[in-house]
Amino acid sequence: AQKITQTQPGMFVQEKEAVTLDCTYDTSDQSYGLFWYKQPSSGEMIFLIYQGSYDEQNATEGRYSLNFQKARKSANLVISASQLGDSAMYFCAMRGEYNFNKFYFGSGTKLNVKP
Amino acid sequence: KAGVTQTPRYLIKTRGQQVTLSCSPISGHRSVSWYQQTPGQGLQFLFEYFSETQRNKGNFPGRFSGRQFSNSRSEMNVSTLELGDSALYLCASSLGGGSNSPLHFGNGTRLTVT
Amino acid residing at A57: Q
SS (H, E, C) B51-84: CCEEEEECCCCCCEEEEECCCCCEEEEECCCCHH
Q: Using the beta-carbon criterion (under 8 Å), do B42 and A105 form an inter-chain contact?
A: yes
Report the residue from B45, B100, B105 with minimal CB separation from A44: B105
Range of weakest confidence among A62-71, B9-18, B65-74, B93-102 = B93-102
pLDDT of B100 > 80? The answer is no
Report which of B102, B107, B85, B61 is spatially closest to residue B12, judged by C-alpha positions: B85
Distance from B55 to chain A by nearest Cα, in Å?
A: 8
Instruction: Among A48, A101, A107, A109, pick the best mutation site for testing chain B contact (most B Cβ within 10 A).
Output: A101
Q: Nearest CA of chain B to the CA of A106: how many Å?
A: 8
Lowest average pLDDT, out of A3-17, A89-103, B66-80, goes to A89-103
Chain B environment of A95 (Cβ under 8 Å) = 97, 99
> For the segment B37-88, what is each residue's pLDDT rounded down to a tens digit?
999 899 999 999 999 999 989 999 999 999 999 999 999 999 999 999 999 9
Residues from A in contact with B at Cβ < 8 Å: 31-33, 35, 37, 42-47, 50, 52-53, 91, 93, 95, 97, 99-108
Which of A79, A75, A115, A111 shows the shortest CA–CA distance to A93? Answer: A75
Minimal C-alpha gap between B48 and chain A (Å):
7
| Subunit contact B99:A107, Cβ cutoff 8 A | no
> How confident is the model at residue A102, as a pLDDT?
87
pLDDT score of B98: 66
